C-alpha cells in the first residue's frame, strides 16, 4: 500500500515568497514541531523549507511542508503523485477580501500560537467537476487515513497515522496527531483558497479585540471556535486565510484527539 508521507505547499522562488515563508516561520516559532531549513549561501539565511512533523503518535505521517521551487504559481504537491494547482474562475461567489498584511498578522500574534490544528485547501467548483473531486478524494484516501466530516459536508480530513494504523484504522486518540489536512469542495467558490488553522492561547474576546471587523470575521455556526483572518499576498488566483482557534479551557476535546472524526465521520477507503 502506498503511503502519503508528505503534503507540500510549494511557492515560486521569488523575494516575495522568501518573505512570506520567513513570516510563516516567525508566526510558528513557538510550535515545537515546526522546523525550518535555510538556503546555503544566501545572505541572511533566507528560509526555503518549513516542516511540521506530527508529534504524536511516533512516526505518524504525513508531514506538512512549505518550500520554494521553480514553479510558475503556488501549488500543493502530495508525494503520492497528486497535485492541486491554483485555479481562478470567472463567476460565482467572490473571494474573501484580504485586509491584513502577513507581517502585521505575525506581529500581532507573536507568542500566542501554540499548535497547528490543520492546513487545507478549498477547491473551486467552478473549475473542478464532481468527478474530478471524487477522483482526488479517492486517490488521497487510498494512501492515507482520511475521514468524512460527520455533519455531511464535503470537508474530508486526513489525520496523521502510523503505517499500522493506515493498514487497520486509528484507535488511539491522542493530542498531537496534527497538522491534519482538510479538503473542501466549494461549488460556489471561484478560486483556490489555502487555509491554516492555528491553536492560540487567546480567548474569543481577545482575538476579536486583536482582529476587529472587518479585519477579522467568523463563519456561521463556527463563531465559538475560531476567528478568520484573510491575508494579502502576491499570487493571483489564490486566497490565503488563517483560522485562529480560541483557547480551550477544558480539554482535550474529541476534536483535538480526532475521536469525533474517526468514530462519527468514518473512514473513506
User: Which DSSP symbol is given to 264?
Assistant: I
- Extract the C-alpha cell encoding 94: 467572490
Q: What is the pLDDT of residue 90?
A: 46
- Where b means 16+ CB within 10 Å and e means fewer, 202-240 reads bebebbeebbeeebbbbeeeeeebbbbbbbebebebbbb
Q: What is the pLDDT of residue 124?
A: 94
Q: What is the pLDDT of residue 47?
A: 67
pLDDT number for residue 251: 77
pLDDT at 46: 57
* pLDDT value, residue 89: 56
The pLDDT of residue 179 is: 98
Chunked mean pLDDT (size 10), the chain, 269 residues: 93 95 97 83 62 97 96 96 81 59 97 98 93 97 98 97 98 97 93 96 97 95 94 94 93 93 98
In angstroms, how far is CA 50 from the centroid of its own chain?
13
183 Cβ neighbours under 8 A, 6+ residues apart: 120, 121, 123, 136, 137, 140, 154, 155, 156, 157, 158
Domain boundary assignment for the chain: 6-268
What distances in angstroms separate CA 25 from CA 90, 91, 137, one per listed residue?
Answer: 33, 35, 29
Residue 267 three-state SS: strand
pTM, rounded to two decimals: 0.93
**The three cell numbers locating residue 262:** 474517526
Amino acid at each position: 500500500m502506498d503511503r502519503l508521507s508528505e503534503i507540500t505547499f510549494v511557492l515560486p522562488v521569488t523575494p516575495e515568497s522568501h518573505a512570506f515563508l520567513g513570516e510563516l516561520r516567525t508566526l510558528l516559532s513557538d510550535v515545537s514541531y515546526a522546523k525550518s531549513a535555510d538556503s546555503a549561501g544566501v545572505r541572511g539565511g533566507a528560509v526555503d523549507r518549513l516542516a511540521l512533523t506530527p508529534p504524536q503518535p511516533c512516526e505518524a505521517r504525513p508531514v506538512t511542508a512549505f518550500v520554494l521551487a521553480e514553479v510558475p504559481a503556488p501549488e500543493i504537491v502530495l508525494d503520492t503523485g497528486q497535485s492541486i494547482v491554483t485555479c481562478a474562475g470567472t463567476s460565482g461567489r467572490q473571494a474573501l477580501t484580504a485586509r491584513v498584511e502577513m507581517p502585521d498578522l505575525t506581529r500581532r500574534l507573536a507568542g500566542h500560537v501554540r499548535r497547528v490544528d490543520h492546513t487545507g485547501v478549498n477547491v473551486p467548483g467552478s473549475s473542478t467537476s464532481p468527478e474530478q473531486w471524487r477522483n482526488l478524494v479517492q486517490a488521497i484516501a487510498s494512501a492515507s487515513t482520511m475521514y468524512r466530516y460527520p455533519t455531511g459536508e464535503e470537508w474530508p480530513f486526513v489525520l496523521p497515522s502510523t503505517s499500522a494504523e493506515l493498514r487497520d484504522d486509528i484507535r488511539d486518540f491522542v493530542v498531537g496527531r496534527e497538522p491534519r489536512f482538510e479538503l473542501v469542495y466549494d461549488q460556489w467558490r471561484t478560486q483556490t483558497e489555502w487555509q491554516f488553522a492555528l491553536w492560540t492561547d487567546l480567548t474569543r474576546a481577545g482575538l476579536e479585540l486583536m482582529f476587529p471587523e472587518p479585519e477579522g470575521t467568523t463563519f456561521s455556526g463556527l463563531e465559538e471556535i475560531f476567528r478568520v483572518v484573510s491575508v494579502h499576498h502576491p499570487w493571483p488566483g489564490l486566497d490565503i486565510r488563517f483560522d485562529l482557534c480560541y483557547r480551550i479551557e477544558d480539554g482535550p476535546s474529541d476534536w483535538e484527539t480526532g475521536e469525533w472524526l474517526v468514530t462519527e465521520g468514518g473512514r473513506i477507503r
